[in-house]
Structure 1
Amino acid sequence: MKLVKLIANLGYGSRKDVARMFREGRITDADGEVLYADDEVEHARVRVDGEPLDPPAGMVLLLNKPVGYTCSTRDPGRIVYDLLPPRFRLRSPLLSTVGRLDRDTSGALLLTDDGALLHRIVSPKAKLAKVYEATLASDLRGDEAAAFASGTLMLESEDTPLAPAGLEVLGPRHARLTLTEGRYHQVRRMFAAVGNHVETLHRPRIGGLPLADLAPGQWRLLDHRDLKVLFDADQRG
């Protein structure tokens, strides 16, 4: 792939914009030598304004989504893409959220431009564990864990029971819930089904991948080791 197309596909601008960047000498190699549009250079050695080129297609990142942001490109309010470099929204293939967290839910959110990986993660066959911590409006009754683990709990307006889910009580009104599916507003609706209301909801982990030290609004690129941890069956549950 020609450098002009490669750099444009990474969101740095249109091909016309990128061609102008070449003319202005803004695209160089790792040694600072000016590159030309028809040069053949390894991706890792290309620099734009002295900075390494963004990862090629297949990029995956982990974001600690704050409350108040939506997983959308069209919402008139704050969106998760506002937390990323603006060029990330212009990548081709598109950078998409892997599933969604609603506006009032914070925590671990994956984004990728790898369609095959996205489908692998969200596929029900993957049974990838998603861990949530909820604070509740009322004290837990004590029978919620059995109800969630039963595999028979029905959500309002649905006709298929939920897959078994694990519940760990962290306090009278604080619980950790582990799911292997991702229905619409599932955690909130599960607690509503047992007569309670979720006041705050946070997802600290997807699969075996924790947020670790990412502060709200921060993100990091993932590598093959992170993806191995993500899918490590021994880290689930």
Structure 2
Amino acid sequence: MAKIPTSRVDRLLSSMGYGSRMEMARLAKAGGITLDGADLVDVSKRIPVTRDLPARMVIDGEALDPVAGMVILLNKPLGMTCSHKEDGPLVHDILPARWRRRDPAISTIGRLDKQTSGLLLLTDDGELLHRVISPRRHVRKIYRARLARPLGDGEGALFASGQLVLEGDDKPLAPAELEVVSETEALLGVTEGRYHQVRRMFAATGNHVEALHRERLGGLSLPADLAPGQWKLLGDDEIALIFQEAQGG
């Protein structure tokens, strides 16, 4: 059985973005921190950091945020960027402000470009992040693409061949699956995450992607009732779905 980590209360809350350790000490003395229904005054106390802690601890009248190891599913809207290095609205702006101060930091699992919408995962679990994006895992990503021109007869075979080399690359793409929805709409399943991969794949056939939306990651689908800009925390069963259709070790 894995050993349950412990932490000083002030260090834990500071790492979760609530404020400095001195601010946590002042909040505790004012009766602003409770654990299991009782005031917690001594923030130097070490406590087990368990997944059920948010159900047991109250900070300034609100339930404690999820502890480290959380995974967030966001329906990314158009026009938002996953990078902190670009101007304009960021996907991180959608989340609670104090979450931007968490340590470990919350990072996106892979990226969707500014003009791509849909399923985006964020986590503070570095091990999970690398498992999802690892080429060895072959986690399939399903995109819905709306195209400028009707599909031809050869795109499916070309994408599935494993022989398509994109402009500027020197290595062929892994085989990808194309499902035709209509003349100008298709679902494309890829297991890699190259720069603007889906757009460049259709460009290689002389077509142009007018709209792109990610619907699924592994066996995890974007919930139909999750509107653009909304997010939810994933439970262990939902996280496991990410690898349900994955191949490899």
> How far apart are residue 38 of structure 1 and its match?
3.2
2:14 aligned with 1:8, yes or no? yes
2:210 aligned with 1:172, yes or no? no
SS in 2 for 1:124: coil
**Identical-pair percentage:** 54
- Residue in structure 2 matching 1:61, options 66, 72, 89: 72
Q: Deviations over 1:38-95 (max 9, x none)?
A: 3455534111122221121111111110001000223220000111001111110111
2:106 aligned with 1:101, yes or no? no
SS in 2 for 1:110: strand
What is the alpha-carbon distance in structure 1 between the residues aligned to residue 23 and residue 99 of structure 2?
Answer: 16
| 2:8/2:47 contact within 8 Å kept | no
- Residue in structure 2 matching 1:149, options 155, 160, 179: 160
Which ranges of 4 or more aligned residues in structure 1 deviate by more than 6 Å? none
With normalisation by structure 2, the TM-score equals 0.90
What is the alpha-carbon distance in structure 2 between the residues aligned to residue 234 and residue 199 of structure 1?
Answer: 29
Partner of 1:200: 211
**Gap runs ≥5 in structure 1:** none
2:82 aligned with 1:76, yes or no? no
Q: Deviations over 1:103-135 (max 9, x none)?
A: 000011111111111110000010001000000
What is the alpha-carbon distance in structure 2 between the residues aligned to residue 188 and residue 228 of structure 1?
Answer: 29
Partner of 1:163: 174
Partner of 2:4: none
Alignment RMSD: 1.5
> How far apart are residue 17 of structure 1 and its match?
2.5
Partner of 2:240: 228
Partner of 1:17: 23
> How far apart are residue 34 of structure 1 and its match?
2.0
- Identify the structure with the greater helix proportion: 1
What is the alpha-carbon distance in structure 1 between the residues aligned to residue 120 and residue 144 of structure 2?
Answer: 15
| 2:143/2:212 contact within 8 Å kept | yes
SS in 2 for 1:189: helix
SS in 2 for 1:126: coil
What is the alpha-carbon distance in structure 2 between the residues aligned to residue 220 and residue 193 of structure 1?
Answer: 36
Partner of 1:216: 228
SS in 2 for 1:62: strand
> How far apart are residue 141 of structure 1 and its match?
1.1
With normalisation by structure 1, the TM-score equals 0.94
| 2:161/2:175 contact within 8 Å kept | yes
| 2:109/2:123 contact within 8 Å kept | yes
What is the alpha-carbon distance in structure 2 between the residues aligned to residue 168 and residue 111 of structure 1?
Answer: 28
Segment drifting more, 18-27 vs 144-153: 18-27
